Amino acid sequence: MTGTISQFLRDYSRESGFHAIEVDAAGKARGGIRAAKAGDEWRAALFREAIRWGEACVMTDDRGLAGWGIPLMINSIVTGGIIVENVALEDGDPAEISRRIQSAAEHLLAKMESYNLTNSEFLKARREDSRRQREKAEAIHALKDRLYDGIRDLYLREEAGLLAAIKRGERPAAREIINRVLVGIYHTARSRPELLKSLALELVVVMSRAAVEAGADPAGVLGCNFESATALAGLSDEEEVSRWLSGMLERVMDAIRDNRQFPNAVLLGRAVAYMEEHLAEPLDRDSVARAAGLSGSHFSRLIKEKTGRTLDCGFEDQSYFSRVFKRYSGVTPRAYRETAP
C-alpha cells in the first residue's frame, strides 16, 4: 500500500501541479512532514468534509490558504486521507484560480477512485444523500408561496405531470415533482408516521402504473413493489420514508430503462399519447420519437409499417390547407361551407 500511495502522490502532483501528502485519521502527516500552522485538526477536516458530502470540498484555513482532501478507506474504515494544503488564492484572476482549484480537487477524487484508495460506492451513496437533501430544501423554498388545501389537492396538481415525466423517462423532472409531493406529504402527515407511509405507498402505486404503461415489465415492477412495501413497514421516521420513496422512483425509472425490448405497440402508444398532449403545439418527428424512446429514423419506419403512411401530415397554415382542400374537393373551404346543406 505504501508503494502504491507514493506512486499515486507523484502522479497526482505531476498531473495537477499541486503537491499532495498522506495523513493519518487524525490529520497527522505521515513521512515526517511538519504540520502547517493550520494544524492536524484542519487537515483531518479536509477529508471529513469529503466523507460528509461524498465529493471533494475546497476549504480555507485562518490564513486564507486553500486545501482539499479525500479519505483513504479500506472498505468502510477510514485510515487517513490524501490532502493538498497551503494553496494561495491571491495571485492571478480569481475566477481562473477557483476553476483550477476545483478541477484539481475533483481530479484528486477521480484518481483515488481509479487507484482503489477510497471507497467509491460509499462516497457515491453520500453524494446521493446530499442531492436528495438539497433538492428537498429547494422544493421547500419553491413551495413557500404556494398553498395547497390538502394532500388530495396536491395529488391532483402534480400527478399528471409525474405520470408524464415517468412515461417519457425524464428522471430530473420526476425527481422535482416527487420532492414537491414529499413536502406536501410532510406538511399533512407530520407526526403521523402511518399516514405518511400510506400516502407514500399510494404514490408508488401511481408511479408503477405509469411505468407499466411506459413498457416496463409488469412482473418486475410488482415484485419490486412487494419487496419494498415490506421494507416500508419497518420504517419509523420521515427521513427514512423520504429515502424509500426516492429510491422507489429510481427503481421504477430503471425498470423502464432496462426493458429494452418494448413491444412496438407500446412505443407507438407513447408517441400517440405525446401527440395528443401537445396537439396545439408544433410537432416534429424527432420530438415525438424522443417521447417514445426511439430514434427519428426508427420511429418513421414503425409509423410506415403500422399505418402505411409517413408522419409528415397536418397543416401549418391556412393557405396550405386551402390549397390541399381545393385539390381534393375542387372548391375552396369557404365555397364548400357556403354550399353545404
Per residue in 120-161, pLDDT tens? 999 998 888 888 877 776 665 555 445 444 555 666 677 778
Residues 232 and 253 in one domain: yes
Question: Buried b vs exposed e over 61-90: b needs ≥16 C-beta within 10 Å?
Answer: beeebbbbbbbbbeeeebebbbbbbebeee
Euclidean distance between CA atoms 122 and 120, whole angstroms: 5
Residues 24 and 95 in one domain: yes
By CB neighbour count within 10 A (0-12 exposed, 13-18 middle, 19+ buried), where does 105 fall? buried
Q: Tens digits of per-residue pLDDT, 174-204?
A: 888 888 777 776 666 666 677 777 777 777 8
Q: Tens digits of per-residue pLDDT, 83-102?
A: 999 888 766 777 788 888 88
Comparing CA positions, the residue from 46, 114, 126 lying closest to residue 86 is 46
Domain extent for 278 = 264-307
Answer with the one of 84, 118, 152 that is the final residue of a domain. 118
Residues making up the chain, counted from first to last: 341
Give the number of domains in the chain.
3
Helix (H) or strand (E) holding 86: strand 77-87
In a domain, 323, yes or no: no
Residues 272 and 233 in one domain: no
Find residue 74's DSSP bridge partners: 77
The model's pTM: 0.44
CATH code of the domain containing 81: 3.30.450
Backbone angles phi, psi at 71, to 5 degrees: -70, 140
Euclidean distance between CA atoms 113 and 340, whole angstroms: 76
Name the more confident of 288 and 75.
75
In a domain, 314, yes or no: no
In a domain, 31, yes or no: yes
Q: E strands within 117-160? A: none
Euclidean distance between CA atoms 243 and 251, whole angstroms: 12
In a domain, 250, yes or no: yes
In a domain, 230, yes or no: yes
Residues 88 and 188 in one domain: no
Residues 205 and 303 in one domain: no
In a domain, 123, yes or no: no
Answer with the one of 65, 96, 118 that is the final residue of a domain. 118
In a domain, 100, yes or no: yes
What pLDDT is stored for residue 148 in this prediction? 43
Answer with the one of 68, 87, 118 that is the final residue of a domain. 118
Comparing CA positions, the residue from 53, 54, 84 lying closest to residue 69 is 84
